[in-house]
Chain A
């Protein structure tokens, strides 16, 4: 990206260029699209792990305040930094990765605050169980990368794992699971 383009993007001036006035489709970038999960261990410290790269497509119409997202999360690739934890998480009573190799997030409800994306509401499916999930945007921005628009941000949501039938070690390992999502999508 040229310095001038970078500066314009940083200032958000591209939003007035009209390029976002129509629905645009973005394909997730594997280098910057991950789901991290966090769960409280014995009320003491936060254990976390990572899924990804996640794959998917996002359609965004900023002018109309609409969008659509369809993401898949490969569950067998869970990475906690510990091979024994990863293997345990893949088992039938937890992620059940053999029977359900993918988790999904599908959403068609986008809430904007002014021009800023604030929330994406949809359905999260894990172990074949679908539950409503809101992902709240902590930040969202677009930039030009060698002439191609890239949009992305950080999102957070929370699920109760028991809602998906994952009850192992309750209550010593918490029911609330915080999802921290990094996504960047390149315009198609």
Chain B
């Protein structure tokens, strides 16, 4: 009986701890933004931004949150150095004039205690437009290495690059639709 009570008490405390809102720091080793775009209607080119930083405030009980991620655009990595150089050039991402992109998500949608979407604003090449990232998976767990709660998931959306003025190669080389794929994990502070 004592064990059951202890377990129940622990479960209640743990649940309460999980339900508390709090600040989370992006885990850069499990947070990446990649994009996918069709190449000549044949195959999908993929590239990833290797450097980013950000913070998350997240409150499952209040069903609210805010995420801010800044992406170093010069860290674009497709595995093809000449393609990366072209991506960084004035033709496409114009990294010299616009070194960072930024996503601020402040409208979290929940189903039960899981985040299903984060809506916000993506600023790229100095232009800001609304973007909604949909969660294809979301979860929180106790990370045995950090000994802290980690929340995260996989998010994606499709943007029209021309909205941000990225018109190079439209429409034959690469179409307007670009799929953004986001892995994110954030550690409770």
The reply to whether A44 and B83 contact each other, CB–CB distance below 8 Å, is: no
Mark A119-155 against chain B: 1 for CB-CB distance below 8 A, else 0: 0000000000000000000010111010000111110
Q: Is the CB of B77 within 8 A of A41?
A: no
B185 touching A41, Cβ below 8 Å: yes
Is A45 within 8 A of B46, CB to CB? no
Bound-state CA distance A1–B96 (Å) is 31
Contact of B79 among A1, A42, A52 (CB under 8 A): A52
How many residues of chain B have a CB within 8 Å of chain A? Answer: 34
B78 to chain A, nearest CB (A): 9
Among candidates B45, B140, B154, B185, residue contacting A182 with C-beta atoms closer than 8 Å: B45
A47 with B42, Cβ < 8 A, contacts A52-B79, A81-B77 known: no
Q: Is B43 an interface residue (CB 8 A)?
A: yes
Is there a chain B Cβ closer than 8 Å to A43's Cβ?
Answer: yes
* Contact of B46 with A36 in the complex, beta carbons under 8 Å: yes
Q: Measured between alpha carbons, how far is A155 from B139 in the docked complex, in Å? A: 28
Cβ A154 vs Cβ B44 within 8 A = yes
Q: Is the CB of A44 within 8 A of B45?
A: no
Across the interface, do B79 and A50 meet the contact criterion of CB distance under 8 Å? yes
- Cα distance A84–B29 in the bound complex, in angstroms: 10
Asked whether A20 is an interface residue with its Cβ less than 8 Å from the other chain, the reply is no
- Is A41 within 8 A of B30, CB to CB? yes
Given contacts A47-B183, A79-B79, A184 and B143 within 8 Å (CB-CB)? no
Task: Please tell me if B105 contacts chain A, counting CB pairs below 8 Å.
Answer: no
As a 0/1 sequence over residues 1 to 37 of chain A, the CB contacts with chain B under 8 angstroms (1 = contact) are 1000010011000000000000000000011101010
Query: Which residues of B approach A to under 8 Å, CB–CB?
Result: 29-30, 32, 34, 39-46, 48, 50, 77, 79-80, 82-83, 137-141, 143, 150-154, 172, 183-185
28 A-B residue pairings within 8 Å (CB atoms)? A31-B82, A32-B45, A41-B185, A42-B143, A44-B153, A45-B30, A45-B152, A45-B154, A46-B183, A47-B30, A48-B183, A52-B79, A79-B77, A79-B79, A81-B50, A81-B77, A84-B29, A141-B42, A142-B42, A143-B40, A150-B40, A151-B42, A152-B43, A182-B43, A182-B44, A182-B45, A183-B43, A184-B43
Binding site for B on A (CB under 8 A): 1, 6, 9-10, 30-32, 34, 36, 41-48, 50, 52-53, 79, 81-82, 84-85, 139, 141-143, 145, 150-154, 180, 182-184
